[in-house]
Amino acid sequence: MAGGLALLFPGHAAAASFWQVSPRSPEAASIAFLFWLVMAVAALFLFGVLGSLVYIVIRFRARPGQPDPPPNYGSLRLEVWWTLIPFGLLVVVFGFMVREMNKEIAPRPNALEVTVVGRQWWWEYRYPGGAVAANELHIPAGRQIRLNLQSGDVIHNFWVPELAGKEQTIPGTTNVWTFSAERPGTYVGACSEYCGGQHGWMRLSVIAQEPPEFDRWLAAQREPPASGVLSAHASALALYAANACGGCHTLAGVSQGKAGPDLTHVGGRSTLGAGVLRNTPENMARWLKDPQAVKPGALMPNFRLSDEQARQMAALLMDLK
Ligand code: CUA
């Protein structure tokens, strides 16, 4: 299992789990409770019906010489009961579900608000104060997180099973969802609504950090790259300009493109292409050389960089921590 998960989530340790009834947050615990409640009701019915069936077959079986029993077709009393009992149970489950959904969308004055934008095929996260990240959602452990879920193109579905229920990102609307992570750790998730050819590579992770550590991370994300980093990669920056990378990507102090992931701190992420590759200098160069070979259908075109050009660009991007 752990090995399989490491394959599915190349950037993460095998500790990450995709098992939806191992809640690591109060919100996921409520959802797991609902799951077990429905499971218990369904099991009660399954064994109740099967048990009665076995009992009836044995108890009322035809015996030699016995006449046919009187038919009870159309018994109003029976029909009323076997309609009312399931109906009542469904009403109870529905009530629990609505209560849970209302809890998740109720206003939270002290929550950290993050805007999530689902895109083909990656996730954009916008933090207060202007920091923009991709695919890896850093949050402070123990604090309520208020997600404003939007879409840049088609319907996606943000899902981190251990922390929160599925919530759609729909073009032209904003869905809200609240969750938290009780303890620091990495929690894996994925887009859970088919959204095109690379839906399977629309992975995400939530990285819950101790609050002071998160504050340092967020403060660093708000900063442009150190000027020393840019000047050390002058030839890569010339390539960046020559290939119009800035038309799609933001690199604070250099370009303002919005179509692709913000590159200002791309070197600090653990995966590329929403989980398709580990973020290493070699993989970055591979991605830059031919993105379509790595993730067919991604918006990033092939700029036909030479090996040396891809290496230089990768060196710049990896230094943007
Ligand atoms: Cu986005 Cu599936």
The pLDDT tens digits of the residues spanning 195-228 come to 999 999 999 999 999 999 999 999 999 999 988 8
Separation of 252 CA from ligand 1 center, angstroms? 28
Separation of 199 CA from ligand 1 center, angstroms? 4
Residues with CB under 6 A from ligand 1: 118, 121, 156, 191, 193-195, 199, 202
Find residue 146's DSSP bridge partners.
113, 178
Structural contact between residues 312 and 233, judged by C-beta atoms closer than 8 angstroms: yes
pLDDT of residue 1: 39
Question: Which pLDDT tens digit goes with each residue over 154-165?
Answer: 999 999 999 988
What DSSP designation does 144 have?
-
Full set of structural domains in the chain with CATH: 1-221 (2.60.40.420), 227-318 (2.60.40.420)
3-state secondary structure of 297: coil
The b/e string for 266-280 (b: 16+ C-beta within 10 A; e otherwise) is bbbbbbbbbbbbebe
Separation of 205 CA from ligand 1 center, angstroms? 14
Residue 268: name the closest of 201, 209, 212 by CA: 209
Tokens matching residue 302: 């092939």
Tokens matching residue 36: 């077990």
Q: Which ligand 1 atom is the nearest neighbour of the CA of 193? A: 2
pLDDT of residue 7: 46
Q: What is the mean pLDDT of residues 58-81?
A: 87
CA-closest residue to ligand 1 atom 1: 156
Kindly tell me if the per-residue pLDDT of 8 is higher than 80: no
Residue with tokens 């200002």: 264
pLDDT of residue 220: 93
Question: Which pLDDT tens digit goes with each residue over 251-291?
Answer: 999 999 999 999 999 999 999 999 999 999 999 999 999 99
Q: Which ligand 1 atom is the nearest neighbour of the CA of 155? A: 1
Give this prediction's pTM. Answer: 0.85
Separation of 190 CA from ligand 1 center, angstroms? 8
